[in-house]
Amino acid sequence: MTMFAILMISYVCAGIALGVLHFLYRSEYGKRHMISDDPHRSVDDRRLYRDAALNTGVSVALIFSVTFGLGDYLFYSTPTPIWVMVVEALAVVLIYDFAYYFFHRYPLHEWKLLRWVHAVHHAARNPRTIDSLLLHPIETVGGLSLLFGSIAVVGGIHLYTFAVIFSTYATFNILNHAGVNIPHFPFKTLGELAVKHDRHHHSMLSGNYASITPLPDIVFGTVA
- Residue range 157-174, pLDDT digits in tens: 999 999 999 999 999 999
Q: Report, as an integer, the average pLDDT of 63-90.
A: 97
Residue 202 has pLDDT above 90, yes or no: no
Task: Output the pLDDT for position 164.
Answer: 97
Residue 222 has pLDDT above 90, yes or no: yes
Which runs of consecutive H residues, i.e. helices, occur in 114-154? 115-118, 137-154
Angle of helix 45-69 versus helix 3-26 axis, rounded to 10 = 160
Top pLDDT among 145 and 44 is at 145
Residue 183 has pLDDT above 80, yes or no: yes
- Calculate the CA 10 to chain-centre distance: 12
Segments making up each domain of the chain, as ranges? 8-220
Task: Output the pLDDT for position 23.
Answer: 92
Task: Output the pLDDT for position 53.
Answer: 93
Between the alpha carbon of residue 187 and those of residues 34, 197, 200, the distances in Å are 13, 15, 20
**pLDDT-above-90 percentage for the chain:** 72
Task: Output the pLDDT for position 17.
Answer: 94
Tell me the pLDDT of the chain averaged across its residues: 92
| φ/ψ of residue 160, rounded to 5 | -70, -35
Q: Provide the sign of the torsion angle of the four alpha carbons 99, 162, 177, 137, taken in this order.
A: positive
Q: How many helices (H) and strands (E) does the chain have?
A: 10, 2
Top pLDDT among 76 and 195 is at 76
pTM (2 decimals)? Answer: 0.93
pLDDT-based confidence at 184, cuts 50/70/90? confident
Task: Output the pLDDT for position 190.
Answer: 82
Q: Report, as an integer, the average pLDDT of 191-203.
A: 86
Question: From the CB of residue 116, how many other CB atoms can be counted at a distance below 10 Å?
Answer: 11
pLDDT-based confidence at 215, cuts 50/70/90? very high
Q: What gap in Å lies between CA 48 and CA 43, rounded to an integer?
A: 6
Q: Report, as an integer, the average pLDDT of 139-152.
A: 98
Under a CB-based contact definition with an 8 Å cutoff, are residues 224 and 200 in contact?
yes
Q: Report, as an integer, the average pLDDT of 100-125.
A: 92
* Beta-bridge partner residues of 34: 180
pLDDT-based confidence at 5, cuts 50/70/90? very high
Using one digit for the tens of pLDDT, what is the confidence trace for 14-53?
A: 999 999 999 999 999 988 999 888 888 888 888 899 999 9
